[in-house]
Amino acid sequence: MDKLKAIDKVVARELFENQLRYAFVKYDCVEEEECVDTVESYNNIRAMWNPKLVSSLFHKLKHVRCIRTFSPLQAKRWHPDPRFVEQFSGVAVYTNEAIDKYYKVIWDSRVKSIERKLQNMVINFGPQHPAAHGVLRLILELDGETVVRADPHIGFLHRATEKLMEHKHYNQNLPYVDRLDYVSTLANEQTFALAVENLLNIDVPPRAKAIRVLCSELSRIANHLLNVSGTILDAGGITPFFWMCEEREKIYELSERLCGARIHCAYVRPGGVSQDIPIGYLDDINEFLSKLGERLDETEDISTGGRLYYARTAGIGVVEAHKALYHGFSGPMLRCSGVKWDLRIAFPYDNYDMYDFDVPVGSFGDSYDRHLLRLAEIRQSIRIINQVIDTMPEGEIRTDDSKVSFPLRSEMKMSMEALIHHFKLCTEGFVVPPGVTYTATECPKGELGFYMVADGTSKPYRVGIRSCSYNHLSGLSFLAKGGMLADIAILVATIDIVFGDIDR
Please give, one letter per residue, the 3-state secondary structure of 64-121: CCCCCECCHHHCCCCCCCHHHHHCCCCEEEECCHHHHHHCCCCCCCCCCCEEECCCCE
Q: pLDDT tens, 331-342? A: 899 999 888 899
Q: What is the pLDDT of residue 13?
A: 58
Does one domain contain both 360 and 492?
yes
Q: Does the pLDDT at position 149 exceed 80?
A: yes
Among residues 38, 65, 92, the one where a domain terminates is 65
pTM: predicted TM-score of the whole model, two decimal places:
0.75
**Boundary-marking domain end, from 65, 83, 104:** 65
**Interhelix angle 488-495/367-390, nearest 10 degrees:** 30
In a domain? residue 276: yes
| Structural domain that includes position 82 | 71-119
In-domain check, residue 406: yes
DSSP state of 357: -
Residues 61 and 78 in one domain: no
Residues 111 and 242 grouped into a single domain: no
Q: Would residue 410 count as lying in a domain?
A: yes
408 shares a domain with 314: yes
The verdict on 195 and 76 lying in the same domain is: no
CA distance 409 to 415: 10
Classify residue 131: in a domain, yes or no. Answer: no
For residue 74, what pLDDT is reported?
Answer: 41
Question: In this model, does residue 127 exceed pLDDT 50?
Answer: yes
Give me the count of residues in the chain. Answer: 504
pLDDT digits 0-9 by tens, 450-461: 999 999 888 999
Q: What is the pLDDT of residue 41?
A: 45
In this structure, the answer to whether residues 41 and 105 fall within a common structural domain is no
Q: Is residue 124 in a domain?
A: no
For residue 395, give the CATH number of its domain.
Answer: 1.10.645.10
Whether residue 127 lies inside any domain: the answer is: no
Q: What is the pLDDT of residue 415?
A: 86
Same domain as 57, residue 203? no
Number of domains in the chain: 3
* Cα–Cα dist 175/165, whole Å: 10
Residue 464 located in a structural domain: yes
Residue 388 has pLDDT above 90, yes or no: yes
> Are residues 184 and 316 part of one domain?
yes
pLDDT-based confidence at residue 439 (cuts at 50, 70, 90) = very high
Note the pLDDT of residue 21: 52
**8 Å CB contact between 418 and 186:** no
Residue 22 has pLDDT above 60, yes or no: no
Name the least confident of 114-118, 165-169, 367-371.
114-118
Measured CA to CA in angstroms, residue 234 lies from 42, 69, 501 at distances of: 59, 41, 22
Residue 436 confidence (pLDDT) above 50? yes
| Domain co-membership, 18 together with 149 | no
Specify whether 410 is located in the same domain as 309. Answer: yes
Domain co-membership, 361 together with 447 = yes
Task: Quickly state the pLDDT bin for 420 (edges 50, 70, 90).
Answer: confident
Q: What is the DSSP pairing of strand 268-269 with strand 272-273?
A: antiparallel
β-bridge mates for residue 60, sequence order: none
The whole-angstrom separation of Cα 287 and Cα 293 is 11
Indicate if the pLDDT at residue 106 is higher than 80: no
Assess whether 83 and 60 both reside in one domain: no
Evaluate whether 193 touches 185 at the Cβ level (below 8 Å). Answer: no
Which of 85, 119, 153 is the last residue in one of the domains? 119
